[in-house]
Amino acid sequence: MCRKIYGAFTIQIIYISGDKSVSTFTKISLVLIFLKSSNAIVRSEIYFRVNNPDGDKYQNCIRLHLKGLEDTECQKSSCSVCHAQAANTWTLRGICEDEERMYYLDMIPNPLSFRGYGEYAVQQRTDGRWIWINSVTNITMAILMERELNYPIGRLMWELQIEVCGQSSGERELTLSACTKSEFTCTDGSCIPFTRRCDLKFDCNDKTDESLCDIINYPEDYRSKLPPRPASDEALPISVNVSMDTLNVDTTTMLLSVSYNLRITWFDNRLTYNNLKQLTRLNTVSLTQVEKLWIPKIGFINTDDIQNTAVDQDAVTTILRQNKKFVPDLSNSYEVEIFQGDMNPVSITRKYFTIYTCNFDLVLYPFDIQNCYMQLQILSASSEYLIFNPSESFVEYLGSKYLVEYEIGPIDLQVVNTTQYSVLKVEVMLIRRYGYAILNIYIPSLTLIIISYITLFFRSFIFDTRIMTALTALLVLATLFTQVSTSLPKTSYFKMVDIWLLFCIILIFFIMVFHTIIDLHIDYGDCVGATDSTTFFKRRQNNSGVQRSSSGKVTKIDVKPSSEDNDIPELAAEESNVLGWLQCHFNLPFMKKDLQFYITASKWTVFIMFSCFNLIYWGTLAVGSGLVYYG
């Protein structure tokens, strides 16, 4: 922020030399007294350029030119006089010292130099070269390689004169910066908040804030084939989080298709991490570093081809910042915060689509509840070294609760660490939606049973109608049974829907048997000798005592009293003959005395059979089935 040039203040100087520009904060205090008159008194170690200041009250900012200071407008990009805190401590990064005080320096304005809190100093020699020197032993540690720079500010290359950090000679990058611990030093010496370091956007003018953003520091003895060992020498716990997006179930093939994100988390105490952010997505590890990292291998056991986890471009590896403690690494020329691997876990996430086998128990179909499992097993090492962490592992389902055939019930996670290889099971409860079966199986079959039962109330002597109606219902029911059987897996046991359809078929069969029994108790009589009506009536006339002349007139009628017992059998026989003729010619059956008993017995028997079966059938389904499940 530019300030007006009145009174004492600290300035930021931009040294302009050709195309090069080096920005730095200085602590040179200038006392500039501007008068509205043409006379101006200037007291400073750095003098104004000739004929400057010349902007009167309209140019209230200063910039440093090769020929001296000059005033300028604060709105211009060349403005170089800005507000900064005074008495900042300077830091020389890139050296290796045990004592932290050795890294810090103060700036001396006259002559311009940097005096350390310990033995070191940065000063300019008589030939204009900047050197890093041990002021106690008067040994030059390094010389600034760029000769044209008047200030050793920023991240620059120095030529070592003695061994530094194990490097005996050659070029070494050192950073002299006035930035605080919560700031990052750009190469040109300017400061930005440290939170903007490696945040996927450029904040430094030289774009160095997005360089050297590797997170993981691998030790020299690190081996990616060996799992880490905790300090307690116990098995390393691995957390697994399963986030399921979609589920699909195929009953005929007994397969469970799952689309899910699998997240594996563990601690590696052999590693250290650089500059971890609170936002996890900013702590993503590059694929190059992931290739060197030990990653647990987990197999999907109950699949046809036994798949396992993969580490490829689709996998995202991040470091979770769970502990805020860090150690600043002053031996690095870039500001670095070092986090410990035993406090901040590694996490790898990848999306999978896996088809798991599921052994369905279809005894209660279509009111069954299926429990399918996703079985995950650690393949990298036995349970003596690697186990699943049940307290930190969880599973969640984010998709729709209702599928085509099933409703998703509770989803549970079980961990078994007692076997040779640790196993994690994700249990998915599937509750079948029986509405389709009710509408397409039970209601049609019940309707056919009712139709067959109604035939018992038909007139008893129309046997053809009764039997054809029941037989048609039986054929339709058999067709429905065949269709249902083909849509389900072939099982060696009976399913509840099979029992229902078989009962319906058996019940209709019994109704047909009852029709046959009823028909056997109907006397249709003997039509032999009674088919001719003339013969029949002549026989009737002779037996009744009626005499006719040749012209057909009645000449004599014999009337016998009814009290004669010897004529009763003859009259009964004649009545039987009349009814026999009517029976044969008008289909009027004769019912025996016990016929009504069989009709009533058949109705009650069918009703009792149907009622008892339903009590047992639906009572069985009321226990442990999806018929009465309340999720």
Q: The domain that contains 275 carries what CATH number?
A: 2.70.170.10
Q: Are residues 115 and 169 in the same domain?
A: yes
Residues 265 and 160 in one domain: no
Whether residue 228 is contained in a domain is answered as: no
204 occurs within a structural domain: no
Q: Do 510 and 531 share a domain, yes or no? A: no
Shared domain for 56 and 121, answered yes or no, is no
pLDDT tens digit string along 237-276? 999 999 999 999 988 888 999 999 999 999 999 999 999 9
pLDDT digits (tens, 9 = 90+) for 484-538: 888 777 888 888 999 999 999 999 999 999 988 888 887 665 554 444 444 444 5
Do 334 and 246 fall into the same domain? yes
Same domain, 364 and 456: no
Residue pLDDT, tens place only, 187-204: 988 999 998 999 889 999
Are 263 and 289 part of one and the same domain? yes
Q: Which of 385, 413, 432 represents a domain boundary (last residue)?
A: 432
Structural domain including 174 reads: 90-178
**Do 607 and 545 share a structural domain?**
no
Please spell the DSSP secondary structure of 565-618, one letter per residue. GGGHHHHHHHHHHHHHHHHHHH---EE-TTHHHHHHHHHHHHHHHHHHHHHHHH
Split at pLDDT 50, 70, 90, the class of 354 is very high
Tokens at 15, concatenated: 């040294």
Q: What is the 3-state secondary structure (H, E, C) of 385-411?
A: CEEECCCCCEEEECCCCECCCEEEEEE
542 has a pLDDT exceeding 80: no
pLDDT at 394: 94
Section 76-100 average pLDDT: 71
Name the pLDDT band for 52 (thresholds 50, 70, 90).
confident
Q: Are residues 575 and 489 in the same domain?
A: no
Provide the phi-psi class of 134: left if phi over 0, else alpha when psi is between -120 and 50, else beta. Answer: beta
396 in the same domain as 310: yes
When comparing pLDDT for 540 and 292, which is higher? 292
Looking at residue 593, its pLDDT comes to 56
pLDDT of residue 551: 52
Checking if the pLDDT of 564 tops 50, the result is no
Residue 542 lies in a domain: yes
Q: Across residues 441-445, what is the average pLDDT? A: 92
> CATH number of the domain that 454 lies in?
1.20.58.390
Contact 11, 28 (CB under 8 A): yes
Distance CA 368, CA 361 (A): 8
In a domain, 1, yes or no: no
CA atoms of 438 and 443, how far apart (whole Å): 6
Domain assignment present for 195: no
Q: How confident is the model at residue 121 (pLDDT cuts 50, 70, 90)?
A: very high
- 263 and 170 both lie in a single domain: no
- Residue 183 placed within a domain: no
Q: What is the mean pLDDT of the chain?
A: 81
Has residue 408 got a pLDDT over 70?
A: yes
Q: Specify the number of domains making up the chain.
A: 5
- The top-scoring range by mean pLDDT among 87-101, 421-435, 455-469, 509-523 is 421-435
Boundary (domain end) residue, out of 139, 160, 178: 178
Give yes or no: residues 46 and 107 share one domain.
Answer: no
210 located within any domain: no
Nearest in space to 134 (alpha carbons), one of 144, 122, 118, 120: 120
Residue 378, pLDDT > 90, answer: yes
> Does residue 38 carry a pLDDT above 70?
no
Token pair listed for 560: 């016998």
Choosing from 17, 42, 72, the residue where a domain stops is 72
Measure the CA–CA gap between 160 and 112, rounded to whole angstroms: 22
Give the pair of three-digit tokens for residue 312.
């490829």
Is 594 a member of any domain?
no
Q: Label residue 54 by pLDDT band (50, 70, 90).
A: confident
